[in-house]
Structure 1
Amino acid sequence: MLTVDFDRLGLRPGDRVLDMGCGAGRHAFEMYRRGGDVIAFDQDADELSGVRDLFVAMKEAGEVPAGAEADVKEGDALSLPFADGEFDRVVAAEVLEHIPADIQAIEELVRVLRPGGTLAVSVPRWFPEIVNWKLSDDYHNTPGGHIRIYSDQELIGKVVNAGLEFEGKDYAHGLHSPYWWIKCAVGVRNDDHPLAKAYHKLLVWEIMKQPKALQVAGKVLDPLIGKSMVLYFRKP
């Protein structure tokens, strides 16, 4: 389930790319499939171990172009262990809403991006997120949980102030917002609730089978209630 549009980001084979806050690696894997020289970066060693294992499996299975490379790196988003201008493309998907010192993290993303390089940042969209917060404190009051809700202008302003040029925005995962509203209404840990279970099956069907009807529904719902906002920037 991808949030970032890599065609819009401008990813090309051979690009040096950073997935900052990679989590389980969904964007890093896609960038590797597209021929990127990928670094998956996170502070969770267990997550990174799984990402590394799948990188190896992808290469052994012939799922990546010849010459593509991928590795993992553990560290702190506020002090990235990379040189200035090291990366052609940088992705930070669903991570800044977790970081108290978000401006410092943004400055690090900008620092490691080369002049002319591009950055994609995604965060929960304001309206779907505010509904979740209103419905449930448990949704965000957890260790490492969401600590802020961004408006588009706030986040654009923070990244532009750090030195990048704004190139556009998009929305993704419109089918997922109702699922989280349901979860927040019935209890975020109440996975056995009939309505939550039924909607979860729908989302699994969407992700695994990509039926045409749900693709069309997603395209309609994304601009209206897409759960994620994706912003694209370029470094002058």
Structure 2
Amino acid sequence: MTHDELQAMLASDERHWWYRGRRRVLRAELDRLPLAPDPRLLDAGCGSGRTLDELARYGRVSGIDLSPEAVAAAHRRGHRDVRVGHVERLPFPDATFDVVTCLDVVEHTPDDRATLAELRRVARPGGLLLVTVPAYQALWSWHDEVNLHYRRYDSSSLRAAARAAGWDVVGDTHFNSLLLGPAAAVRVAQRRRRRHTHSDLDLTPLRLNGVLELPLRLEARLLASGTRLPAGLSLLAVLRRPALREPRRAEADLWRADGPRHHRLRRRSSVTSSIADGSVRATSTVP
């Protein structure tokens, strides 16, 4: 992204409704997935490290970002294992992490399949990747131009890129659904304003944060219950690195859950004890 957009992101990722809402969605998905005891987690494209604060609830965290300013901000938050680097060339050994998150980063890279393959390299067999991307190429606007995006996605294009990179697709869902209509209208209007030079971060004043975050709060609750949202401004996919010598299972096996994490703690040992070798299974289904 441009220097101005980076500064806007670093200034707003703590309070802006979009970042706050996306973190809620991320937590809702993580809480539905079986995780290894004391997992290692990587946030690829970690920005200022605010998402690392959330991931630290689950295990040991590492981060990487292209911007030295962002990495310095993450260090100030107390995250020591955060490095400057490219997501296409991660400075970590093979099979290091149980969980990788890559939030609104893949669309910034020229070759998304190569990027997803590199993220797969550092995931352990049976490890998970949670990736978010902007949805619908038809909504391409100055927001994408300013942020130096290469593409937007639909479910089929993201799944195809993931499979080509060697991932199994556990499941996907849209989010930021309730604001899709208004945002689409804004994007169409932007195409007629050739002098627009900023992304959407500057369109909503801070005083509206609470109101604009409400839809994402609701959506996070729906996702936590197992609901898949069929449309929205963003797309989230859960991918899994196939385990060695493992028979291929239905893609939705890990996507199924029986509710919030605290209801599953008594059974967690039976689910998580084999995540390292990829033999984990979900034990219930979404209605």
TM-score (norm 2): 0.62
Q: How many residues align?
A: 206
TM-superposed deviation, 1:217? 7.3
User: Aligned letter for 1:49?
Assistant: A
Structure 1: state its 5+ residue gaps: 57-69
Q: Please give the root-mean-square deviation of Cα atoms over the aligned residues, in Å.
A: 3.0
Is 1:11–1:36's contact at 8 Å kept on the other side of the alignment? no
* Residue identity matched to 2:138: I
* Aligned equivalents of 1:125, 1:117: Cα separation in 2: 25
Q: Larger strand proportion, structure 1 or 2?
A: 1
Give structure 2 stretches of 5+ with no counterpart: 1-19, 243-287
Residue in 2 that maps onto 1:47: 70
Instruction: Tell me the residue number matched to 2:45.
Output: 21
Cα shift readout 1:119-149 (whole Å, capped 9, x = no counterpart): 11110122xx523x2xx4x22223x521112
Say whether residues 1:130 and 2:146 are aligned partners: no
Identity %: 31
Shift of 1:103: 1.5
Structure ranking higher on relative contact order (CA contacts 8 Å, 6+ apart): 2
How far 1:27 moved relative to its partner?
2.5
* Residues 114 and 165 in structure 2, CA contact (< 8 A), matched pair in contact too: no
Q: Alpha carbons of 1:165 and 1:50: their partners in 2 closer, same or farther (altered >3 Å)?
A: same
Aligned 1:110-129 pairs, distance under 5 A = 110-126=120-136
Change (3 A) 1:89 1:215: closer
Aligned partner letter, 2:106: L
Q: Which residue of 2 aligns with 1:233?
A: 239
Aligned to 2:265: none
Confirm or deny that 1:71 pairs with 2:81. yes
Shift of residue 182, structure 1, vs aligned partner:
5.5
Residue in 2 that maps onto 1:37: 60
Offset at 1:117?
0.9
2:64–2:83 contact (8 Å) kept in structure 1: yes
Paired residue secondary structure (1:139)? helix
Report how far residue 107 of structure 1 moved: 0.8
Runs ≥4 in structure 1, deviation > 6 angstroms? none
For the 8 Å contact 2:36–2:98, the answer to whether it is kept is: no
